């Protein structure tokens, strides 16, 4: 049995609040207990501390995502966990996005799904050469949530939509080059960076002082000098993922007929057709909305996903039975009607 009291470690050192996600065997996957420990701490620290640092325990992951197996089991059984978890997780995401003091996420290792929500809305995100970022939700019948509808459309060109639809993994310096991390640091020096931040004095503990520390470690990081691995594909991404609907994007990829386009089509055909259609609609709808409004849309969609087939089926196929053979319904993009997709964006089920 897990010790639920110690899944998050909270401490205050030299006027700095430090959050440590402490489920290393579960890759620090986020659950409702953890959300309920972090939220009040942030609310109090926003008034009493000079900054917040959040990190993951174990060296393999910052946070690999939300603990969604429990969520789908609740939905199937008619429970309320799926309502509580998404609602309270998104409230936490919004608190992070509106925090008045600097919030610094040390995103070493796997940073996906719920882990992205715990980091990307803060002022600073520090990646290492071991950081692995992805939003793989279309593969499980969900959508890029935890504020994905806010930050993804704000990346360069159509990069955010590309990442959202394909679940493409960014590694190391790519996370920084893409604009998801604000800084980068060698993994072996990350503890020293943290201690330098904690050691900042009263007159240094401001944005200028923090950025001086972060930039110092970035300059010493060999990973920072690597080129962006998607640089040669950005022109194609911007051209072929610019459609206003998933049908347009599929059509453009088919017309292009390059090996790269064929590879993207093969990836998309593995994903939930409903998720793909909803994801394009969501990111197009939210590209100019504030975070709070984006999260409102996402909560409506999360609850609808828990009422319908694909999310529960995707979790079964990839995380429970692990046969990696989900049976999507509808099975084809052309069978996902506009009226069905629209129900995911309504405040009440129609």
CB 347 within 8 A of CB 300: yes
Decide if 137 is catalytic: yes
Catalytic residue among 129, 145, 158, 223: 145
Decide if 209 is catalytic: no
Catalytic residue among 17, 114, 209, 218: 114
Query: What is the CA 276 to chain-centroid distance, rounded?
Result: 17
Give every strand in the sheet of 124-127, ordered side by side: 8-13, 16-21, 51-56, 103-107, 124-127, 183-184
Q: Which residue has the tokens 């394009």?
A: 280
CB 158 within 8 A of CB 241: yes
Decide if 114 is catalytic: yes
CB 22 within 8 A of CB 4: no
Q: Give the H or E element holding residue 11.
A: strand 8-13
Catalytic residue among 89, 137, 174, 196: 137
Catalytic residue among 17, 56, 65, 66: 66
> How many residues are there in the chain?
350
- Please enumerate in sequence order all residues whose Cβ is within 8 A of that of 60, keeping only pairs 6 or more positions apart, or say none: 24, 27, 109, 110
Secondary structure class of 298 (helix, strand, coil): helix
Nearest in space to 62 (alpha carbons), one of 16, 12, 4, 122: 122
Q: What does the block give as tokens for 99? A: 């925090």
Query: What is the CA 262 to chain-centroid distance, rounded?
Result: 26
Rounded to the nearest 10 degrees, the angle between the axes of helix 291-307 and helix 273-286 is 160
Give Rg (Cα) of the chain.
Answer: 20
Alpha-carbon distances of 10 from 210, 219, 314, 341, rounded to whole Å = 21, 30, 34, 41
Decide if 115 is catalytic: no
Show which residues are catalytic. 66, 114, 137, 145
């Amino acid at each position: 049995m897990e010790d639920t009291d110690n899944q998050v470690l909270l401490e205050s050192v030299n006027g700095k609040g430090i959050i440590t996600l402490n489920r290393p065997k579960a890759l620090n996957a986020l659950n409702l207990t953890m959300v309920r420990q972090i939220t009040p701490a942030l609310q109090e620290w926003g008034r009493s501390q000079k900054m917040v640092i959040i990190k993951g325990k174990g060296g393999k992951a910052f946070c690999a995502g939300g603990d969604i197996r429990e969520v789908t089991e609740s939905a199937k059984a008619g429970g309320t966990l799926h309502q509580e978890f998404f609602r309270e997780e998104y409230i936490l995401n919004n608190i992070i996005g509106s925090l008045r003091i600097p919030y610094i996420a040390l995103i070493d290792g796997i940073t996906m799904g719920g882990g992205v929500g715990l980091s990307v809305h803060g002022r600073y995100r520090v990646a290492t050469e071991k950081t692995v970022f992805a939003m793989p939700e279309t593969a499980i019948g969900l959508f890029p949530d935890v504020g994905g509808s806010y930050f993804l459309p704000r990346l360069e060109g159509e990069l955010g939509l590309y990442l959202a639809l394909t679940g493409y993994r960014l590694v190391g310096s790519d996370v920084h080059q893409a604009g998801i991390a604000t800084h980068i640091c060698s993994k072996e020096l990350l503890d020293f960076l943290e201690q330098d931040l904690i050691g900042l004095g009263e007159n240094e503990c401001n944005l200028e002082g923090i950025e001086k520390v972060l930039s110092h470690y970035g300059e010493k990081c060999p990973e920072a000098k690597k080129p962006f691995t998607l640089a040669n594909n950005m022109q194609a991404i911007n051209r072929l993922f610019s459609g206003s609907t998933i049908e347009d994007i599929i059509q453009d990829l088919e017309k292009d007929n390059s090996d790269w386009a064929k590879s993207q089509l093969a990836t998309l055909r593995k994903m939930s057709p409903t998720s793909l259609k909803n994801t394009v609609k969501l990111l197009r709808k939210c590209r100019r909305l504030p975070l709070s409004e984006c999260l409102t849309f996402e909560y409506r969609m999360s609850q609808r996903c828990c009422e319908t087939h694909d999310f529960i089926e995707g979790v079964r196929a990839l995380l429970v039975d692990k046969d990696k053979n989900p049976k999507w319904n509808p099975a084809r993009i052309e069978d996902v009607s506009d009226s069905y997709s629209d129900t995911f964006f309504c405040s009440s089920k129609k």
